[in-house]
Amino acid sequence: QATLKSLAAAKGKYIGAAADNGELIDPRFQQIIGEQFHSTTPGNGMKWDAIEPRQGTFNFAKGDEILAFAQSKGMTVRGHTLVWHSQLPGWVANGNWTRETLTAVIENHINTVVNHYKGTLFHWDVVNEIFNEDGTWRDTVFYRVLGEDFVSLAFRTARAADPNAKLYINDYNIDGSGPKSTAMFNLVQKLRAEGVPIDGIGSQAHLIVGSIPSSFESNLQNFASLGVDVALTELDIRTSTPISEAKSQQQLLDYKTTVGACVNTPSCVGVTIWGFTDRYSWIPSTFPGEGDALPWDKNYNRKAAHDGIVLALGGT
């Protein structure tokens, strides 16, 4: 059977899967991700708390390990993520900052991290999850001290540090039309008009079986109409566990719909799944009783969901 990456490439798209450092010691994981996917995203290894746990002390071990693994498999890497309120070390989150001092902290973090990986990563999620569900700004240290300006600061700093990486703004629950998607659309429109170097919008796409927004594809195309690239950056489609046969068939359709929406959108460059095997997923610990969200099961058997991706990519 054709691999996911060969099918995706024939459609002009990449297909990726997130990986965490602990998973890399699993030979089955290594083998399948290398065989099936073009790219990976570190699940945790390039976040602020991993890379700069204390001010000015940088530790690239986890990120470098993922990058080296990816390179050994001929895969590329999406950097994730530079400015995010979560997995942010206490020294940043609780610091007593002024506009000047927090600006310097953000600049130093982005300069150091983006420069370290310069020329090796194809995308960066520069800012992540800045909106509330109603489209207002999330209350974070960045917003409290700098207002909206932290976004343009982050993008301009990242662009200067690596002119070749595509720079993304990334969020969840922007998968269908609604106030959060409208906020994203309006912000990117405004910042691009001001010359802020935003290349793409990442729709994380953490979804629920049977509940794909009916506007999923039109929403993606609406983002693309801004002249940016779009990507599905963290796709998974969860359900109550263990998944039933009926839910499996629905999950097949849901993967076909979501991956198919990217295939149908010329500016959609690719899809990253947030892992690929139910053996390793963030969902059961966050949503007890839910999971089974990925295209391979815990024992590395392909699920119906896998066939949904194949069908979306034009395979049989």
Nearest to 65 by CA among 50, 55, 86, 54: 50
**Residues contacting ligand G3I: total by CB under 6 A:** 9
- 86 belongs to the binding site for ligand G3I (CB under 6 A): yes
Nearest to 40 by CA among 76, 4, 81, 3: 76
- 280 belongs to the binding site for ligand G3I (CB under 6 A): no
**Cα distance between residue 99 and residue 14, in whole Å:** 39
- The minimum distance between CB 10 and ligand G3I, in angstroms, equals 29
- 202 belongs to the binding site for ligand G3I (CB under 6 A): no
**Cα distance between residue 202 and residue 299, in whole Å:** 30
Bridge-based pairing of strands 229-240 and 290-291 is antiparallel
**55, 71, 87, 94: which one contacts ligand G3I (CB under 6 A)?**
87
**200, 282, 296, 307: which one contacts ligand G3I (CB under 6 A)?**
282
CA 264 to chain centre: 20
Is 234 considered catalytic here? Answer: yes
Scan residues 205-244 and list those touching ligand G3I (CB under 6 A).
234
Selecting among 23, 52, 217, 234, the annotated active-site residue is 234
Which residues touch 270 (CB under 8 Å, ≥6 apart)?
Answer: 8, 13, 14, 15, 16, 38, 39, 231, 232, 262
**Cα distance between residue 202 and residue 267, in whole Å:** 12
Is 23 considered catalytic here? Answer: no
Scan residues 141-180 and list those touching ligand G3I (CB under 6 A).
172
**36, 204, 239, 251: which one contacts ligand G3I (CB under 6 A)?**
204
- The minimum distance between CB 86 and ligand G3I, in angstroms, equals 5
Nearer Cβ to ligand G3I (44/277) = 44
Residue type, 25: I
Selecting among 23, 52, 129, 217, the annotated active-site residue is 129
User: How many CB atoms neighbour CB 107 within 10 A?
Assistant: 16
Q: Which single residue brings its beta carbon nearest to ligand G3I?
A: 282
Tell me the β-bridge partners of 132.
none
Scan residues 11-40 and list those touching ligand G3I (CB under 6 A).
20
Q: Catalytic amino acids?
A: 129, 234
What does the binding site for ligand G3I look like in residue numbers (CB under 6 A)?
A: 20, 43-44, 86-87, 172, 204, 234, 282
